[in-house]
Chains A and B, each alone.
Chain A
Amino acid sequence: MVSSRLLFDLLCEWNRWAGQRGKVLILIVGFSLISFVFAMVLRLGDVLFFENPDWVGSEADFYTLSSVYDDGRQAGVSQQTIASLKDLPYVTDVAWLRTRTFDFRSNDYALYQPLALVFEPHLVDLLQLEFPATDKRSTGVWLTQRYWREAFNSDPEVVGKYLTHEKLSNSVPIRGVLPQQFNRIGPWSPDILLPADYLRYVTPFAPSSTLMIDRFLRSVPEYYGFFKTRRPIDVERLSQEMRNNDFSVQGMQVESHGGELNIFNGIMLDQKSATMLKQLWTFSVLLVIALVSIFSLNAFMSFSNRNLLLADEYRVLQTIGAQPIDLVRPVIVASVIKMGIIALISLGLNVLASHFISMNVHVTRLDLFSLDGKYPYYWALSLVFITLIYATAIIFPLMSLRKKTLFSRVMGTNRGYKQLLVGQGSLIFQLSIAIIATIAAIQISKQQLALFAPFNFNTSVQQVVINHHGGRLPIESIEDVRNDDTNNALALSVAPFDKPQTLSVGARELGFEREFEVHYVSQNYFNQLSAQVSADTRDWKSGVVINRTAQQFLAENRFNIRATPLYLGKILGSHRIFGVVDDIPHGGRFKRDQPTLYLPLSTVFSTPQSYTLYLDERMDVSSSGALQNYLDTHLVDAQITSSSTLKAVIDAQEARAQQLFYFSISVVIITLFGIALTLGYQVRSRLQLEKADYGVLIAIGAPFNALLIKACKPIAMGFGAAVIVTFAGYMLLVHLGYLHHVNLASAINLIALVLVGLITLSAVVLPLLKLTRSQVIDLIKQE
């Protein structure tokens, strides 16, 4: 016999949840998910809105001055522009940094053009950077830990050794190895950190031309400025004011890169990643709201139903002398154990998610969810949050028990009006989520089907990426370089096949705005890929080729593609549409329907850092004399960095997309399964409460249909309300501009409704069938 009070409490709780233990498990998993996602929301929110990057030591509020392209990429501004900040009375401190490759050499190690983060020495004080040997910050070089490991084989004697540079008369001492957080700064993985003075030696001017060097360094738009102010400022307003100023340097004409000056709150070097993180954060917030709503309502309903079923037991216990604490204690003991399990699962989810994120998503902060960072505080906070929700779900139904009289011969209980209302609300909410999850599942499955679609272009074409250190390929002569065996011409693009630039096309006044992928390609690109274009690209010198998806998108937005030129922003200007090409799945067949633009290479504004060649699979790049000659003639130090067929490139993309697909489909299936189970339990406990009514109906000869109608009535009403709520939500999202266009009567929506309807119906029919198989006398008998 169990004598221990604790064990007896647990035994009672275990028995009291008989028939509902699956639901308890779902609640535990659900609350674990809430805890995990909520902790993630808090941590991400901290990083996005309050915290400086981990390589910055100061916790002060900073602003970043840089420029930004139409597609959200950031670029630098001139020193002159940054220096102008010092004239503003409320700006207290300014410093800058920039990146540049420096051709440092070493006698002991093979170094290849290390990427340097060049900093103004004052930056160390301003941002309180954790620098070794900070007293000598104006000379020398600091190695990042990654570069020290990779290029210097983690040599412990590296400090004090010297690097040389052809333009420097003196060697440069290595001052130290930087802490790990300098391995990643904004979008860069710098190899070394270098004081600003060294920039003077790598300008196009002779060292004696001091004035020209100063002017050049002041005018090149490569610097990112950081500043502090006495009081918070309106960044939009200051950005606008600065855009109206002329920051050109007298006597120095420097090509602009076309970005627009912009001031950001905080230290911002990678706005694109920050935007992605913000989207992830917003999605997580919505997920938390949905999960909290579903599981807190479910928990409330579970405890409410349980207390109704246990009301008689509690009454008996009180009659024989149980104090209120004797009734509450078992619930508390069991809840503490459940909380422990929830904490462990949420921690496990964190480990899994960190692993998944580090494998699949590029994030600037790999320590984001690290257990030795700030995450544990937020995790603990999320557990407190969960405990509060759970405690509320337990306490309110328990309080209603206090109103019951202790002595009554009438056993059995009925639900109150409020409980029915909460139950129905919970049902509507869960069914709405089930409908949305099913629509998502079908859409994802439809995408999966795309993997079986045949390619509409030649995937055996070889892609070769060429990096260089100067020069520019003459586009017009690329077609003269022919495959030795096949005599086929080569095609060329600026970015690799699967790494397009993006551009926001459209404007508010046009009534549409959407991100398009952009590829700068040579005239024979489509020919080389055997892709079908509506016009003869042999005459393609100007204008833009769009893909079918882009054509469809523009047509849907009543854009006349024959008559109206397409405006592609300030830098690219307007372009007439030259032709339409079949959709080429650059990002894999999952992302086939991505609106894409192809522009002739002649429209590339700045000198490309790399080129991508497209040639016949059989052609051996390394042995092609004509190609090598062509590259060596026009590029400095041209190097083939990667070579693979387009099939291999797409396979890699699809493998990644497939992982995401399996992840999303698992989430959807778990959600649906969870909702189906909780619905089943909800109906079961409802039937349990009303079993005497059903017993009477069966006893007086009611057919199964009558019982089914009685059981289905509240569920059917809930289902109808859920359909209305879901589609009203869709319409609202369309109205607010978050969704483009929704066809409510689409096949996917209808299939989803039928599926959820069937799941709901089976959640009613199965327990009802079980109930009708019971002895009528057992149903009517009060326990």
Chain B
Amino acid sequence: MAELLKLDKVTRAFSDGTQQVMALSNVSFSVSEGETLAIVGPSGSGKSTLLSILGLLDRGYKGTYTISDTNAAALDNQQLAHLRNREIGWVFQNFNLISHLSVLHNVVLPMRYNREIDKRAYHQRALAVLDSVGLKDKLDAKPSQLSGGQQQRVAIARALANQPSLVLADEPTGNLDSKTGNMISELLMSLAQAGTTVIIVTHDDKVAAKCDTQIRLKDGTIAHGE
């Protein structure tokens, strides 16, 4: 399988004004298309920092990050936003749905920022992804009217709206009960079978075990790779 992304000696340091904290240090790995990767590690190990770099939200790192053969460091903010919109789908622990919009509108949202999609196709495409997560009957519901599992499924549907090549999930089961969490992790794994690369940051060993690869972070460095 072709390589989707590659990190080469990525280092990220933060300063609190008095001293520098090394969040990531010389992290290198690559991920192929359709692969599932779990990033695990204790709190403060640099998982979130790594995820934000992978998701093109953080540009303050050193080293090289290549995604879809593009060096992320060479992109300006507009190009980064463009790439995030087309290539990356996000699934958050807190779901982060827009509370005043309906399920349908939440799912359509990434399409609205994608000028390549015809407006007339919004409804059809949204219906298709909502069908794939089993929420076709909740189109007009507001997020507050849904359970946690349903909200996370809407978030996955939103992440898939632009058919990205990479889905990043930040503790996607952290706020869910084990049964619902299991269902969500299965859903994420099924995306990989359809060719989408999935990277999951998780504390849940069961979720990590389902992934093709695991990266364990400790004090900002890769402690163990499988």
Which chain A residues have a beta carbon within 8 Å of chain B's beta carbons?
1-5, 8, 12, 15-16, 18, 312-313, 316-324, 326, 405-407, 409, 411, 782-783
Contact = CB atoms under 8 A, between A and B. Distances in A.
Interface in B128-176: 158, 162, 170
B94 A411 contact: yes
21 contacts: A1-B122, A3-B120, A4-B119, A5-B119, A12-B100, A12-B101, A15-B100, A15-B101, A16-B100, A318-B81, A319-B55, A319-B84, A320-B85, A320-B109, A321-B82, A321-B110, A323-B81, A405-B58, A409-B48, A411-B94, A783-B99
B198 interface: no
A688 B220 CA distance: 37
Contact of B84 (A3, A4, A312, A320): A320
A326 B51 CA distance: 24
Contacts of B100: 12, 15-16, 18
A28 to B, nearest CB: 21
Nearest to A315: B96
A520 B30 CA distance: 105
Contacts of B109: 317, 320
Nearest to A15: B100
B170 A319 contact: no
B113 A407 contact: no
Given A3-B119, A407-B55, A319 B90 contact: yes
B175 to A, nearest CB: 11
Contact of B105 (A1, A18, A318): A1
Contacts of B158: 320
A321 B119 contact: no
A321 B94 contact: no
B57 interface: yes
Contact of A407 (B57, B89, B112): B57
A660 B225 CA distance: 84
Contact of B113 (A3, A15, A320, A409): A320
Contacts of B40: none
A322 to B, nearest CB: 5
A312 B96 contact: yes
A406 B78 CA distance: 14
A395 B104 CA distance: 30
B6 interface: no
Contacts of A411: 94, 96
Nearest to A323: B81
Helix, strand, loop or mixed for chain A's interface? Answer: loop
Given A321-B84, A321-B114, 4 more contacts: A320-B84, A320-B109, A320-B110, A326-B113
B128 to A, nearest CB: 14
B108 interface: yes
A316 B122 CA distance: 20
A460 B112 CA distance: 79
Report, as a range, how many residues of chain B touch the other chain.
Answer: 35 or more
Interface of B: 48, 51-52, 55, 57-58, 77-78, 81-82, 84-86, 88-90, 93-94, 96, 98-101, 104-105, 108-110, 112-114, 119-120, 122-123, 158, 162, 170
A407 B51 contact: yes
B52 to A, nearest CB: 4
B113 A321 contact: yes
A783 B99 CA distance: 8
Contacts of A1: 104-105, 108, 122-123
Contacts of B48: 407, 409
Nearest to A2: B105
Nearest to A325: B78
Contacts of A318: 81
Nearest to A326: B113
A15 B142 CA distance: 12
A3 B78 contact: no
A16 B104 CA distance: 18
Contacts of B51: 407
A407 B58 contact: yes
A526 B99 CA distance: 78
Given A3-B119, A320-B158, A321-B84, A409 B94 contact: yes
A406 B113 contact: no
Contacts of A324: 77
Q: Which of A313, A317, A406, A407 has the most CB of B within 10 A?
A: A407
Contact of B122 (A3, A320, A405): A3
B150 to A, nearest CB: 16
Contacts of B101: 12, 15
Contacts of A406: 52, 57-58
Nearest to A322: B113
A783 B144 CA distance: 9
Question: Nearest 7 A-B pairs (CB), nearest first?
Answer: A321-B85, A15-B100, A407-B52, A406-B57, A3-B119, A407-B57, A321-B84
Contacts of B86: 321
Nearest to A411: B94
A409 B55 contact: no
A323 B96 contact: no
Given A4-B119, A323-B113, A407-B48, A316 B96 contact: yes
A676 to B, nearest CB: 27
B81 A322 contact: yes
A685 to B, nearest CB: 16
A16 B180 CA distance: 31
A233 B90 CA distance: 76
A775 to B, nearest CB: 12
A3 B123 contact: yes
A324 to B, nearest CB: 8
Contacts of A782: 94
A468 to B, nearest CB: 78
B88 to A, nearest CB: 8
A783 B94 CA distance: 8
A409 B108 contact: no
A324 B114 CA distance: 14
A407 B50 CA distance: 11
Contacts of B123: 1, 3
A323 B55 contact: no
Contacts of A18: 100
A323 B78 contact: yes
Contacts of B89: 320
A320 B82 CA distance: 9
A409 B170 contact: yes
A323 B162 CA distance: 16
A320 B90 contact: yes
Given A1-B104, A323-B113, A409 B99 contact: no
A323 B82 CA distance: 8
Q: Which of A4, A313, A316, A324 has the most CB of B within 10 A?
A: A316
Contacts of B120: 3
Contacts of A320: 84-85, 89-90, 109-110, 113, 158
B189 to A, nearest CB: 22
Contact of A8 (B55, B84, B99, B112): B112
A12 B123 CA distance: 18
A3 B170 CA distance: 30
A320 B91 CA distance: 10
A312 B114 CA distance: 21
Contacts of A407: 48, 51-52, 55, 57-58
A313 B92 CA distance: 13
A313 B96 CA distance: 8
Nearest to A320: B110
Contacts of B114: 321
Contacts of B119: 3-5
B6 to A, nearest CB: 21
Nearest to B96: A316
B87 to A, nearest CB: 9
Contacts of A16: 100
A411 B98 CA distance: 13
Nearest to B90: A319
B108 to A, nearest CB: 7
A411 B88 CA distance: 22
Contacts of B110: 320-321
B167 to A, nearest CB: 12
